[in-house]
Structure 1
């Protein structure tokens, strides 16, 4: 019950062995100076103590763990009982081993009288017991902190997955209904166009569902998701109002990034500019690799009369706040997000490590 986890058993035995050898080497020198003639005796003395202590420490560690969180009076009462028991077991086990080995070796062994042993060894055991309790308390606290950190990390991963699912829902029902209405309105006039729209919609839904099943994918996969979305938007507003530009070099396409990272910014560019702009708007998505970094840009530039301004939002809306939080959780300070006006439109610049 008190054995350490399997992966710690060998290191623990190695530690006890090293401590026993160091103490034995020190005792051997004093033993020789005092005229001792059996060099194995200091090793027996020290290792008999270390062996018993090694087992008792495991029990002390388990006791400290069981007492954690209980009121201090209960803990003090338990330790008041455990300390003398610790000392008695140490003394009994240590001298039991010694008497056995001396008996097998045919050498007489005369330990000190029991009252002397109890006083001498008991004092050392009290110091040892207190030290072990403090060390054990620190170990339990470290393990609890590590468990809390793992739980926090798990909660963060679950939150990131929830945000990912929420971002996947950017293909909102009203967008789906508008697209189906668009297809319905042209299917009798332009069957080929209606067929293309259905194919683009099916590809978008298929890609979105697939992206929900993985945490990250390549830039090429992300663009394969963005392209049918923009194609549908272009069909909805017409090529005279929405111009789409996608530019990504091969090195950037091979980089990996969180799935569905660009869909929300691109959707925002359409919803907050094209849908409100009276003239033609160009939505441009670019990706390039600069050293070990991936640089993504989403721009929208309008022509003609400017749309009515939206209420100011320095974060760029809920979608971009989620984007910032996802990048912060995934890359920390290695990722940067810049969003603001550029020319007659807005621009979003994302910089993150290029994972391949």
Structure 2
């Protein structure tokens, strides 16, 4: 997306603060121009030739010069928005502006007698001075306008880059999220098929859990973030399916959720990924099974963070722990979410693994 053109600057130049600043600058320049003449006349000896200081600079002369300079600035400001913006027309527009202001300044100077002979006649010196003043004013405002437009373009490009980066992060997160597939569905359906032949009641109960899981999972498939309550509902349904599949005697479930967290927004499937990892690498390798605890609470060390944990009493940490696709995908999603979001693995006591996600949240 190309940078948009900045708004017209004529209004800003004609505000009272800008007018007062221009008047003050004009007065300062007028006094600075008169200062050499004042010093020269003041340093002449008493018996010096009077022709050496024919025109003694005065305060009234400085005020007239200041009014002339301020009028030049005002004229340039009024004409600024009429200048063409594109090359090569703009230099020609500036030349016309300078010539027009010089002619106007010659007419005004005939009444003010700020520069040149006291009778207001036009001399090469007067023309040269007024042309120089007009050029300085017009080129100064043009330089200001050029800098303002460049700043506006840079700001527009920065906003565009930020928007593109945000869209890229969203697309990357959506791609990473799409890689999180519940492979257990194939095993669940196969187990459901076997149960339908041997235990119709158990098959019906498992089918209810499967429908509950799908009801929780499908609405969030295209969402990068969901309320914690929905994520917990998904994890409960997921773990209930596994508990039915491998047996309640082999898998015990515990939930420790702090109150008031239902509406907190979390990355979708973040707890599901941890639960999948706990089942696959913690509980499944053990004949005796184990326990899985799902916890959510404000972080005790940093209240700005929300701590989500899935702890198991399974096989524990191995050399390949944390290097799977699911956890790697979750790490990448958290990195795109916030610099403070992170995933870490810790040893559980007396054995097993604790997978912990910490994300920023609007703490009370």
Query: Could you report, residue by residue, the CA deviation over 1:272-298 in whole angstroms, capped at 9, with x for unpaired residues?
Result: 122221222211111113444321111
- SS of 1:294's partner is strand
Q: 1:171 matched to which residue of 2?
A: 182
Q: 2:270 matched to which residue of 1?
A: 261
Greater CA radius of gyration, 1 or 2?
2
Q: Is the 8 A contact 1:45 1:98 kept in 2?
A: yes
Q: Is the 8 A contact 1:243 1:281 kept in 2?
A: yes
Residue 153 of structure 1 is aligned with which of 159, 166, 169?
166
Q: 2:343 matched to which residue of 1?
A: 337
Query: Could you report, residue by residue, the CA deviation over 1:123-174 in whole angstroms, capped at 9, with x for unpaired residues?
Result: 665566556545544543443343223212211111112222222xx223xx
Structure 1 residues 192, 89: closer, same or farther in 2, change over 3 A?
farther
Q: Is the 8 A contact 1:214 1:259 kept in 2?
A: yes
Q: 1:297 matched to which residue of 2?
A: 309
- SS of 1:187's partner is helix
Q: 2:74 matched to which residue of 1?
A: 47
Considering fraction of residues, name the structure with more helix.
Answer: 1
Shift of 1:252: 3.1
> For the aligned residues, what is the CA RMSD?
3.7
Q: 1:94 matched to which residue of 2?
A: 101
Q: 2:11 matched to which residue of 1?
A: 13
Question: How does 1:65-84 map onto structure 2 within 5 Å?
Answer: 82-83=90-91
Gaps of 5+ in 1: 64-77, 103-108
Query: Could you report, residue by residue, the CA deviation over 1:211-242 in whole angstroms, capped at 9, with x for unpaired residues?
Result: 12433222211110001111111111111222
User: How many angstroms apart in 2 are the aligned matches of 1:297 and 1:91?
Assistant: 73
Q: 2:242 matched to which residue of 1?
A: 233
- SS of 2:261's partner is helix
Q: Is the 8 A contact 2:253 2:291 kept in 1?
A: yes
| TM-score normalised by the chain length of structure 1 | 0.74
Structure 1 residues 138, 42: closer, same or farther in 2, change over 3 A?
closer
Gaps of 5+ in 2: 32-58, 110-119
Q: Is the 8 A contact 1:256 1:355 kept in 2?
A: no
